[in-house]
């Protein structure tokens, strides 16, 4: 073999040895890298779960709001029915109360203008 071929073979051996060394080191660090990534990911996941509610939480909130609105509508209907019944039973009392309320509101608004 000539001198140049010997050097090329030697360089190839050095490169092969370096690659083998790097592969061993990477395999050794693989577990550590995976652990670090999973720690960072879990911290991110915890932080995100604190800021953004889960689908389950949103579903519960939606259900509760729907129930509250339905309950409020039912109470409003009951109140309207009760007022309607009282007005039909005592129409002049209702007219008097409405007139007094109108007078008071007019007085309050007029005094604000002055």
Question: 13 versus 34: which is more confidently predicted?
Answer: 34
Tens of pLDDT along 39-98? 777 777 777 767 677 778 888 889 999 999 999 999 999 999 998 898 888 889 888 988
Task: Parse the chain into domains and list their residue ranges.
Answer: 1-52, 55-114
Considering the entire predicted model, what is its pTM? 0.41
Model confidence at 100, pLDDT cuts 50, 70, 90, reads very high
The C-alpha atoms of residue 19 and residue 30 are separated, in whole angstroms, by 16
Q: Residue 1 corresponds to which tokens in the numbers above?
A: 């073999």
Q: Residue 35 corresponds to which tokens in the numbers above?
A: 């652990």
């Amino acid at each position: 073999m000539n001198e140049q071929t010997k050097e090329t073979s030697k360089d190839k051996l050095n490169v092969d040895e370096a690659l083998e060394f790097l592969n061993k080191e990477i395999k050794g660090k693989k577990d550590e890298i995976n652990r670090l990534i999973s720690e960072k990911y879990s911290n991110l996941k915890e932080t995100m779960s604190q800021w953004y509610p889960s689908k389950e939480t949103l579903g519960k909130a939606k259900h509760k709001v729907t129930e509250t609105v339905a309950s409020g509508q039912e109470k409003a209907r009951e109140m309207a029915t009760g007022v309607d019944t009282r007005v039909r039973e005592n129409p002049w009392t209702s007219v008097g109360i409405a007139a007094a309320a109108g007078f008071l509101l007019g007085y309050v608004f007029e005094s604000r203008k002055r």
